[in-house]
């Protein structure tokens, strides 16, 4: 606690605990009233004593809230709580995404598209790789074996295709940079 106050002036500052003691309410209620704008802080956890007492008396003299005001106040608090919970959920999901533990559907689709293009490329390369060998085959069975060998080789190569967390992280960072840039452009316009 601060030093004893000899003279109270309009500039006398008190802590949250001291103001709560003077007003006969809890420190938590003081903080809530400050958040609601009913009391004015001069700095973190500090209040002007005279101003705060006057504001508190005015708050009490304004009388109890009518039913409509109570409903509005309750609705406001519920909305604030919902907003805070939503922001916390979004922050948690963004952290999980940055850690690579959660993936956005568009990123999964992009990674799947990469795999499809790899498969397509391998299949499109087969005719060029097989044309001469199959044309020189002595029998359809020999041609089938040549084709089977090359298809198996292509499938082994494709089976080595792996999820690369670094590529995913790069994709996320690129997308986030793009989203940040497009957000700034919208604000500039």
Q: How many CB atoms lie within 10 A of CB 81?
A: 10
Most confident of 94-98, 109-113, 173-177: 109-113
92 in a domain, yes or no? no
Sort 50 into a burial class: Cβ within 10 Å, 0-12 / 13-18 / 19+: middle
129 in a domain, yes or no? yes
Residue 164 has pLDDT above 70, yes or no: yes
Instruction: Read off the pLDDT of residues 27-63 as tens digits, 9 standing for 90 and up.
Output: 999 999 998 888 999 999 899 999 999 988 888 877 6
The continuous run of DSSP H or E covering 13 comes out as: strand 13-15
27 in a domain, yes or no? yes
| Range scoring the smallest mean pLDDT among 66-75, 112-121, 123-132, 171-180 | 171-180
40 with 34: CB under 8 angstroms?
yes
47 in a domain, yes or no? yes
* DSSP secondary structure letters along 10-31: TT-EEEHHHHHHHHTS-HHHHH
Instruction: Read off the pLDDT of residues 137-156 as tens digits, 9 standing for 90 and up.
Output: 999 999 999 999 989 988 88
8 in a domain, yes or no? no
Give the pLDDT of residue 176.
75
Instruction: Read off the pLDDT of residues 67-102 as tens digits, 9 standing for 90 and up.
Output: 777 788 889 889 999 999 999 988 888 888 777 777
Same domain, 175 and 122: yes
Strand order in the sheet with 46-48: 13-15, 46-48, 41-43
82 in a domain, yes or no? no
Give the pLDDT of residue 63.
64
Same domain, 184 and 122: yes
Q: How many domains does the chain have?
A: 2
Q: What percent of the chain has pLDDT over 70?
A: 89
The residues with which 47 forms a beta bridge, in sequence order, are 14, 41
Same domain, 107 and 57: no
Same domain, 132 and 55: no
pTM of the model: 0.40
Same domain, 106 and 180: yes
77 in a domain, yes or no? no
Across the chain, what does the average pLDDT equal?
83
Same domain, 54 and 106: no
Domain limits at 55? Answer: 13-61
91 in a domain, yes or no? no
Question: Rounded to whole angstroms, what are the CA distances from 179 to 37, 165, 172, 173, 174?
Answer: 35, 21, 10, 10, 9
Of 39, 61, 83, the position where a domain reaches its end is 61
| Percent helix / strand / coil, the chain, rounded to 5 | 75, 5, 20
């Amino acid at each position: 606690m601060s030093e004893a106050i000899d003279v109270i002036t309009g500039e006398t500052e008190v802590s949250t605990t001291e103001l709560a003691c003077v007003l006969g309410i809890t420190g938590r209620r003081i903080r809530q009233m400050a958040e609601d704008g009913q009391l004015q802080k001069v700095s973190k956890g500090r209040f002007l004593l005279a101003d705060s007492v006057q504001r508190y008396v005015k708050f009490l003299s304004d009388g109890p809230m009518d039913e409509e005001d109570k409903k509005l106040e309750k609705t406001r608090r519920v909305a604030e709580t919902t907003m805070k919970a939503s922001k916390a959920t979004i922050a948690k999901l963004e952290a999980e995404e940055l850690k690579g533990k959660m993936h956005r559907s568009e990123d999964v689709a992009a990674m799947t598209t990469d795999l499809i293009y790899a498969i397509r490329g391998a299949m499109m390369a087969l005719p060029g790789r097989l044309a001469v060998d199959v044309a020189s085959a002595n029998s359809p069975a020999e041609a089938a074996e040549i084709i089977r060998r090359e298809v198996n080789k292509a499938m082994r190569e494709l089976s080595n295709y792996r999820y690369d967390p670094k590529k995913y992280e790069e994709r996320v960072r690129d997308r986030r940079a793009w989203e940040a840039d497009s957000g700034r452009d919208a604000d500039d316009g």
